[in-house]
Amino acid sequence: MKKRFLTLLLLVLGSSGIFAQQQDYTTSNIPTFTDAELLNRIRSVRNKVIPPRFDRIVKSYINTYTVKKRDKTERMLGQMDVYFPLFEHYLKQKNLPVDLKYLPVVESALNPRAVSRSGAVGLWQFMPPTGREYGLKINSLVDERKDPTKSTEAALKYLGRLYKKYGDWSLVLAAYNGGPGRVNRAIKRGRSKNFWRIRRYLPAETRAYVPAFIAATYIINFHHHHLLDPIPSDVDMRYTETTKIYQRISFQTISEITGTRMDLIEDLNPSYKQRFLPTNSKGNYLRLPAHRMASLMNYLGRPDASRNRLGAQSIYKPADAIYNNSFNRTTYVVRGNETMAQLAEKYNCKVKDIRDWNRLENETLRRGQRLTFFILKVSAVDLLPMPLPDVLPFAQSSKANQYPALPKYKSDARYIGKRYRLPKIGKKDKYIYHQLRRRESLKDVADQYPKLILEDLLRLNNIKEGQQLKPGSRLIVGEK
């Protein structure tokens, strides 16, 4: 599939970008174990891909994970909660061994932006020809090798095809790394389909690939024995929803609609090079924090959107976050020359809050320092000063069903259109109908009629929450 260096784990992990930096560690407080102890643990893992095996190469990889690159390993371990559920979902769907989820640990250290020296990209490290062969789009706007969902689907298709050819997962992994041609030649020279017998006929990086997989499996399952503490990712990276978007929309618009930070949108959608989703008749995947997706669905006017009405509520001061359940706790690792003021702006809090949460005496930060933050569980749309499209804020009062006056219609998408009260339509009245076109949202329909807004369109047609509409459906849009 690609030609990559895998002689040393340092080089493999270094290609991902996450593991690129050098750092010295004091080994006096790092646990050590005998070869017999390591072997017993490896044997205890029920791995349906590679049978348990322990040799000097496996041991060297384990040593790199647990001693030489401890901080990088902890960062990688923190990404498990982000990507393993995705891998497991598609592996079960394709009826492939779930243990294949460890493969991207070897390939990219769970970094979707990983780029190798040979030009392989993404969690699964596709070279351009192979990526395009398996349906991944690569152009000036999009590199779907970086898309976690699409690249996973493509990788599993490729792995399934290789297994049909070889019927042995050790050979499949070797072919995934070095290419089927090299494996075929090694099988011919060694007169065997046993990976360990033909291993000497393979290139050095491919010979080390299966041992690297065994070491990755070990470290995921037994990192706690080595006192490795996974650095948790942002809570909004772990609890996400994915939808398909067919029309062009910018990250800036998505940020304004949902209140999601721009850097978080970029981290969740690394395949888009220009900070927008281009038009795509087959649809582009957009991934957002789960509690923010409803705002986007409301904006797009989809009948399957959850039409949340956000009531006014007391917002606890961040300093009180430890004592209530309105916040999610997350850990952040300081990078470069970041200041506390920059982090306060990023997490929508005060410098004093950061100091209180972390019991800091001053604002001095150091690279690699771990900070605790508390993030509101509610969507950031609750905190925006301007009402968002089709999300109707109301103040709690004795008139529970009365809404305050809304701003007049403006073309800017941040404003809600003027609320028009259409007369009730009786059975004898004649209506104006609109036929729903393919990929046309209800918001698009409402925008075509100046005296109609989305809420009235839903009421007139008795469209219920969760209801799906098919192209060709007739919708009442007014009276003649």
- Positions annotated as catalytic residues are 107
How remote is the C-alpha of 298 from its chain's centroid? 22
For residues 104 and 152, give the distance between their C-alpha atoms in angstroms, rounded to a whole number. Answer: 10
For residues 264 and 137, give the distance between their C-alpha atoms in angstroms, rounded to a whole number. Answer: 23
Check if the beta carbon of residue 291 is closer than 8 Å to that of residue 434: no
Pair of tokens at residue 124: 């699964």
What does DSSP assign to residue 303?
A: T
**Which residue's structure tokens are 């305050």?**
404
For residues 82 and 290, give the distance between their C-alpha atoms in angstroms, rounded to a whole number. Answer: 13
What does DSSP assign to residue 194?
A: -
* Residue 63, Cβ density class (10 Å: 0-12 exposed, 13-18 middle, ≥19 buried): middle
Note the residue count of the chain. 480
**Which residue's structure tokens are 């888009």?**
272
What does DSSP assign to residue 49?
A: S
Phi-psi category of 478—alpha, beta or left, where left has phi over 0 and alpha has psi -120 to 50? left
Among residues 433, 464, 430, the alpha carbon closest in space to that of 448 is found at 433
* Residue 150, Cβ density class (10 Å: 0-12 exposed, 13-18 middle, ≥19 buried): buried
Q: Which long-range contacts (CB under 8 A, 24 or more apart) does 172-176 make?
A: 173/49, 173/50, 173/103, 173/209, 173/210, 173/213, 174/202, 174/206, 174/209, 174/210, 175/1, 176/1, 176/103, 176/209
Check if the beta carbon of residue 123 is closer than 8 Å to that of residue 104: yes
Among residues 129, 217, 136, the alpha carbon closest in space to that of 173 is found at 217
Beta bridge partners of residue 272, listed in sequence order: 142
